[in-house]
Amino acid sequence: MARENYWLKSINEHLAYLRKNSWYYKDQLVWAGPEASELAELADIRNFPFTEKDDIASRNEDFLCVPMEKVRDIVTTSGTLGGSVAIFLTEKDLQRLGVNEAGSYRLAGCSSADTFQLLTTIDKRFMAGLAYFLGSNELGARMIRSGPGALQLQWESIQRFEPTVLVAVPSFIPRLIKFALDNGIDPNKSSVKKIICIGESVRDEKLQPNYLAKQITDKWNIQLFSTYASTEMATAFTECQAGNGVHLQPELMFLEVLNDEDEQVKDGESGEVVVTPLGVEGTPVLRFRTGDICHYYDEPCSCGRNTPRLGPVVGRKQQMIKLKGTSLYPNAIVDELNSMKQVVNFVIELHSDDLGLDEVVIKALLQGENAQTNVLDHLSGKLRVKPRLILATNEEINRIKFDDNERKPRILVDLRS
């Protein structure tokens, strides 16, 4: 009950702040009518409007709640209407970001005794890298900002500075392992004990290690921790050592997971993640629809926490594809390709054909006899559809996957009009 009372008080304070300072929400809350005044109980949140990515893109500056003189950092996220969407952070927001990420580290069992190595960018207006740096500082730990790529540099840093925790996109780790083994380095003799995984899950829908996780841990005896976040959230969910889903930090955000009728799903069911970050000063949002479909868990975790948790992203609403009568999320194709030893490397492209129908093109590097036939037969058996498969070199695939203008690897590229 204490948690519900806290949320009720915090959301009403959030609403009062939006009415006073946000040009966008001044309009929205007037249009929503008298019922959208304040919450008498948490269920009243349904009286308030959702916020979509398109809303932020179309009225970006109207979301800013402070004078520009108070802004200390500007980050961006890709916009669904074309250009990038700016999120403005004040000094208070930067402090909140550090508190959030320190909490994430603690969920993964990290402390001030740890040394972190950041294998993702801290520049290019990217919030995640900045957040992880601020979090290690808030935790009182050390951070090595090695950045993405640069395999030799990563291992030089590991061997010289002996980090205990890596923060990385997990699909990069097999490349890190291969470089080590090719150069006489035993990863299991390194100082690294944990990897905080960003951008991609290392769990399947049943919260078991997925194929990517197994690919890593088969060669490196290491703990992997899933996370889930977005720039608009300004808050991260992180897995604890029990591995039962990523935990909400309830003092920083109110969470809804909604079905197609916009009703809260029950424990174990899946729905769209809708978030209201609390305590944000520069660019606060209300009932932000992420478009991500996740399973929701509200039973107490075996770690002892009773905070709501989420499973991995099953898919994104706008990325649902219909292929020859079958509806599926591209993540299902990714999981199956990761499970096949004959698939060395791949990237998936979504296209529209001449009739406007969805088309899935897999560009892959394969190995072994009859690999192309076996891969297509496997996908057809598991997914009930047979996508188009184009054989490609490692260089061709990595040119798409590791674009210098992108802040993280692209396994899925949506080229549909």
The answer to whether 384 touches 370, Cβ cutoff 8 Å, is: no
pLDDT of residue 95: 98
pLDDT digits (tens, 9 = 90+) for 36-75: 778 999 999 999 999 999 999 999 999 999 999 999 999 9
* pTM of the complete model beyond 0.85: no
CATH code for residues 320-414 = 3.30.300.30
Sequence spans of domains, the chain = 1-314, 320-414
Pick from 84-93, 305-314, 355-364, 408-417: least confident = 408-417
Sole residue written with tokens 């403005």: 88
- Using pLDDT thresholds of 50, 70 and 90, give the confidence band for residue 81: very low
Q: Is the pLDDT of residue 83 over 80?
A: no
CB atoms near residue 278 (< 10 Å): 21
User: How far, in whole angstroms, is CA 404 from its chain's centroid?
Assistant: 20
- Amino acid 201: pLDDT: 87
User: Whose CA is closest to 195, among 228, 225, 220?
Assistant: 225
CA atoms within 13 A on the CB side of 97: 28
Q: Is 339 exposed, middle or buried (CB count within 10 Å of its CB: 0-12, 13-18, 19+)?
A: middle
Distance (Å, whole) CA 27 – CA 12: 17
| Domain 1-314 classification at class level | alpha beta
Instruction: Tell me the DSSP string of 40-94.
Output: SSGGGGGGSPPB-HHHHHHTGGGG--S-GGGEEEEEEEE-TTSSEEEEEEEHHHH
Average confidence score pLDDT of the chain: 90
